[in-house]
Homo-oligomer: A and B are copies of this chain.
Amino acid sequence: MILDAFDSPVGAWLTVTEPAGGSDTIVVSSRVRLARNIANFPFMSKASAAQKQELCSLFEQRVAKLGMANLNFMMLDTASAHDRQLLLERHLISKNLAAGEGARGVAVSRDETLSIMVNEEDHIRLQVLRSGLKLQECWAQADQIDNDLQQHLEFAFNHRFGYLTACPTNVGTGLRVSVMLHLPALKLNGDMDKVFAAAKDMHLAIRGLYGEGTEAVGDFYQLSNQTTLGRSEEEIIHELESAVLPQVLYMEQDARQRLLTQRPYLLDDRIGRALGVLKYARVLSTEETLFHLSYLRLGTAMGRISGVSMALLNRLFLWTQSAHLQVEAARDLDPEARKVHRADVLRKYLNL
């Protein structure tokens, strides 16, 4: 069981302390990702099956030399669909890597704050995750690991363009910095358009819970940079952190305040219904669960409900997803049985 490789029921990047009402109630997590390719190897689209296999082996050998404690490498082409789904739900691999073909793998740290995907769109995609707004810390660690990797692997680099990547949008720094935002009040007030407009003005992308090509569910949005070329890593991070994020955080805080002062009973109605359904339903889909958990998170952040901790919510967000549910049940569950078991798990933990 792949989950045995993990330290805790949720990754360290989700192990938050209780929010004091600050930006941590809105910024769920920070993420820095670097795209790298090995010099003198064809890009993924041109690589043969043998070359993909060779790349995995090379990486595995070199990672061993990195001397980074607690970094486990696993091949994904030979892993079960269940284990791939589990890694996806924990945000340690991308949808592309989970569903991909051919030799590919991932190295994951025991605390789940670091993962290095091999043979995704690029040969190497390194990500560092942190709870709350911690882009600087993420970048510092990513930069350190990038340097460590370069002791053992030569990356494709052009002195004019910077790091070379499979897709031109990543050329240069190969950097994507993103924050996962919880914006239920903006969504409820119908003001998400303003966020999309602000992001567009600043050349930022807004995506769903599982990154590119996924829907925003449970009012969670990933805000990230689109430009990787022509500016330093520090400039890219600074722009997201200073120019855009404060504006979005202010908008969400303002929307929450307006809900509270104008029609508090409507706010409490949403939160109450969410709690009522999660406590009493017997059949629950992933989507509906995320929808309701989102309101419990809002209620907890705003102090409108007690007895539901952020730690419990983070656990429930994770453990009500398909692969995690099957770990909890210790058996395979068909889609219908999953919905029933999901409701069982929620009733168990929300039995206040």
Q: Interface on A for B, CB 8 Å cutoff?
A: 265-266, 268-269, 272-273, 275-283, 340, 343
Which residues of chain B have C-beta atoms less than 8 A from A265's C-beta? 282-283, 340
Q: Identify A269's interface contact among B269, B272, B279, B343, CB under 8 A.
A: B343
- Measured CA separation A158–B218 after assembly (Å): 70
Which residues of chain B have C-beta atoms less than 8 A from A272's C-beta? 280-282
- Stoichiometry, as copies per complex, reads 2
Nearest-neighbor residue (CB-CB) of A270 within chain B: B282
Nearest-neighbor residue (CB-CB) of A272 within chain B: B280
27 contacts between A and B (CB under 8 A): A265-B282, A265-B283, A265-B340, A266-B282, A266-B283, A268-B282, A269-B281, A269-B282, A269-B283, A269-B343, A272-B280, A272-B281, A272-B282, A273-B276, A273-B277, A273-B280, A273-B281, A275-B276, A275-B280, A276-B276, A276-B277, A276-B278, A276-B279, A276-B280, A276-B281, A277-B277, A279-B280
Nearest-neighbor residue (CB-CB) of A283 within chain B: B269
Nearest-neighbor residue (CB-CB) of A347 within chain B: B272
Nearest-neighbor residue (CB-CB) of A282 within chain B: B269
Known contacts A265-B340, A272-B280; can you find 18 more A-B pairs with CB under 8 A? A265-B283, A266-B282, A266-B283, A268-B282, A269-B283, A272-B281, A273-B276, A273-B277, A273-B281, A275-B276, A275-B280, A276-B276, A276-B277, A276-B278, A276-B280, A276-B281, A277-B277, A279-B280
